Chain A
Amino acid sequence: MWRRLKPGELDHEVVWLGVSLACAALAFAWVGFGLPGPSCVFHKVTGWPCLTCGSTRCVRLLLQGAFGGAFRMNPFFFTCLVGVAVFDVYAVVVLLGRLPRWRPERVPLWLRWILLAALLVNWAWLVVAGV
């Protein structure tokens, strides 16, 4: 539902816009300074990719402008990053326009099942693609 913020209510649009921009700056700095990415403990022990394997490589490819390669590295994580970008645009629009905010009552059951299914399908893709 769309509504105005109550007095004293946490302004999520400001918070998460700031956090996402700060994380983007951190990512640039991390890659720029050549700091190492993490190694996957699950992959080392089992030889199989974990549910989020390829996320760091996805970010690196994204920073290089290789969107296709970034998507293939981890489609679910890439979609999440696209979702963050969409949210940032929404946040800028509602903050500048002083518009009502979108505040859902609760997470619908069908959305929870879709997210779980997407995670599992993504994991299957990582295994098949040998990420």
Chain B
Amino acid sequence: MKWYYERASQQAGPVSESELDALIASGEVRMETLLWREGMAGWEPMSVARPPADRSTFAPPPPPTPPPTPPPTPSLAPAVGAAGGILEGLNPYAIPQADLRGVEVAVERDGPAWERRAEIGWVTAGFETVKAVLLEPSATFARMKREGGIGSPFLFQLILGSLGGLASVFYQMLLSLISTKGTGRFEVVVGLGVYAVMMPLLVAAGAFVGSGIYHLVLLMFGTKQPFEATFRTVCYTGGAVAVLQLVPGCGSLVAGGWALVCYCIGFSRVHALTIGRAVVVVLLPLLLCCAMVGLIAAGVGFFAART
């Protein structure tokens, strides 16, 4: 008898009974992990599908029945070519994909460290959160609270995003001053100064507008999670990668790329999407609004171009 199990919001398997016992013993499969085998109507947690009392005896396998087809899920995913989705839908005997969207896998969500800054200190909490998001995004977003107010993540993004943005402006100002002569320098300083003063407002507006756009796309893909979940993902990612802008030169470029990767992983873990769908969600607004990619760069680069 072959078993399929849920791992990181994806279908894994098939594994034999003895392999499943080994996974249970190692802790990879727990009581709340969803399981499916031939004969079951749908995915069930292990506590129901294969309770501990049943493991020592093996009931005769039920007569083979065709696996249930997954329930139709209206969404625009096939229209935008989500990876593998179209081909799976054509095979009536395909193993049912676990519809894990909205299924709350029992993981304690209490993070990240920034949420506990009153206990451990602002600097420690900020440092731990940046490190966790940049180096362990999958585990971090798996444990991130989906709800609990927008104040904490917004503050994180506002502080670090503004610092990173100001660092970018400062480096651009240095470059412009080196290459500008005479009264042109004053114009460069004034222009970039205006941009620097507007930076916190730009970061704040960007956090909400960006989250809003991503959440609209996620709604098109049928997410059941609230806007707060998206906002938290965007803010913790944005704040963490903004630290990379402190590196002169390539810092901003690396920050942009790293942010896209973290968004994909974050939306996958928070909204229980496959990685393929998460990638489409992240790239779609960029493809639609490619001019917006240059908005911030234009504001800074304009002054360099005038030198």
Contact = CB atoms under 8 A, between A and B. Distances in A.
Contact of A41 (B75, B202, B293): B293
A112 B76 contact: yes
Contacts of B123: none
B202 A26 contact: yes
B289 interface: yes
A38 B292 contact: yes
Given A112-B76, A116-B79, A53 B291 contact: yes
A29 B297 CA distance: 17
A39 B208 contact: no
B219 interface: yes
A11 B152 CA distance: 16
Given A35-B195, A119-B288, A10 B150 contact: yes
Given A38-B292, A39-B298, A52-B292, A112 B220 contact: yes
A10 B298 contact: no
Contacts of B171: none
Contacts of A8: 149
A56 B226 contact: no
Contacts of A1: none
Contacts of A38: 291-295, 297-298
A41 B291 contact: yes
Interface string A63-81: 0000000000000000000
Contacts of B103: none
Given A41-B294, A106-B219, A107-B220, A22 B288 contact: no
Given A19-B208, A22-B204, A35-B195, A51 B295 contact: no
B175 interface: no
A35 B302 contact: yes
A12 B216 CA distance: 14
Most buried by A among B76, B150, B191, B291: B291
A23 B209 contact: yes
B299 A35 contact: yes
Contact of B226 (A10, A23, A29): A10
A61 interface: no
Query: For the side of the interface on A, what is the size category?
Result: 20 to 34
Query: For the side of the interface on B, what is the size category?
Result: 35 or more
A109 B74 contact: yes
Interface in B227-281: 227-228
Contacts of B41: none
Contact of B290 (A10, A50, A116): A50
Nearest to B195: A35
Contacts of A109: 74
B285 to A, nearest CB: 10
Contact of A33 (B79, B194, B287, B290): B194
B205 interface: yes
Contacts of B222: 106
A16 interface: yes
Contacts of A25: 201
Contacts of A100: none
A8 B219 CA distance: 22
A16 B213 CA distance: 12
B198 interface: yes
Nearest to A49: B291
Contact of A36 (B75, B227, B293, B302): B302
Interface of B: 74-76, 79, 149-150, 191, 194-195, 198, 201-202, 204-205, 208-209, 212, 219-220, 222, 226-228, 287-295, 297-299, 302
Interface of A: 8, 10, 12, 15-16, 19, 22-23, 25-26, 29, 33, 35-42, 50-53, 55-56, 106-107, 109, 112-113, 115-116, 119
20 contacts: A16-B208, A22-B201, A22-B205, A23-B209, A26-B198, A26-B202, A35-B299, A38-B292, A39-B291, A39-B294, A40-B290, A40-B294, A41-B290, A50-B291, A51-B287, A51-B289, A52-B292, A106-B222, A107-B220, A116-B79
